[in-house]
Amino acid sequence: MTDLLPPIQTTARDDAVLKALAGFVRQEGLGPGEKLPTERILAERLKVSRNTVREALTRWEGLGLVERRQGSGTYLKAAVSPDMLHMPLTLAGGNDFAGLMATLEIRRALEAEAAALCAIRAGKAELAEIERKLDVMEEAFQTRAGMSSEEDWEFHQAIFRASGNPLFEQIIAAMYEMFHRFWEHPLGVRDFGHASFPYHRTIFNCIAARDPEGARAEALKLIATVEDDLKRGAANLKLSDRR
């Protein structure tokens, strides 16, 4: 006998509030940036205490769905729908080098799969878009004699978007901040990112040739070079700390 007989759910006021609120947002067609009703109004309409409303909104705020501005109101920060799946990721000691490597491993996993899917699914328009981003990136590389994080990022984003699965882009976007905190301070590695440059073109070639496994392999190589760069940077940093 396994666990049939799941624990029953008796009270879940604030959860109900969130569901109702999500329904309201959908019905009103509210989008990011728009203001939702006052806490006091919500409390009155839903026939619950303002306190309960606040607990519910606090959860949404913690999840980054909503922003509260004292004296002004509560504003949507993202699209909400009644059937959302929440996936809070927490990285203990997320400010250190190990945390960056952890996110990079996730990125490698997603980048490889997205490239493979992209090789299968990307339409003509999407393919052209990716190549355009690639050209811009290569142009920037030549001009400034080095990797440019912004253009590089846009290239990868285009691949994620063309994978046909929005989850890739969403997960990576959640980690964007982490990547770029280090990206902007390349740990003393002067030619940071140089090694990864050629793989952008090879990945695109595989995608254009409809070669999923090739694309996957090239993406893996690309992230490997970034990882190497970072490790080298960390070693340098440790060295200069000792100085």
Partner DNA sequence: AATGGTTCAATGGTCCAACCAATTTCCGCA
Partner DNA sequence: TGCGGAAATTGGTTGGACCATTGAACCATT
Q: Does 70 bind its own copies (CB under 8 A)?
A: yes
Tokens matching residue 202 = 């090879």
**Least distance in angstroms from the C-beta of 71 to DNA:** 2
Stretch that binds its own copies, among 37-45, 128-136, 170-178, 228-236 (CB under 8 A): 170-178
Comparing CB distances to DNA, the nearer of 10 and 142 is 10
Cα 198 from chain centroid (whole Å): 24
Comparing CB distances to its own copies, the nearer of 121 and 236 is 121
Q: Look at residue 73 and give the partner it binds from DNA, its own copies, none, a contact being a CB closer than 5 to 8 Å depending on partner kind.
A: DNA
Helices 149-162 & 166-183, crossing angle to 10 degrees?
170
Cβ burial 35-71 (10 Å sphere, 16+ → b, else e): ebbebeebbeebebeeebbbbbbebbeeeebbbeeee
The CA–CA distances, whole Å, from 75 to 30, 56, 64, 65, 238 equal 10, 14, 11, 9, 44
Residue 6 neighbours by CB distance under 10 Å: 6
Q: Look at residue 166 and give the partner it binds from its own copies, DNA, none, a contact being a CB closer than 5 to 8 Å depending on partner kind.
A: its own copies
**Least distance in angstroms from the C-beta of 87 to DNA:** 22
Stretch that binds DNA, among 53-61, 102-110, 164-172, 217-225 (CB under 7 A): 53-61
Q: Does 95 bind DNA (CB under 7 A)?
A: no
Q: Does 65 bind its own copies (CB under 8 A)?
A: yes
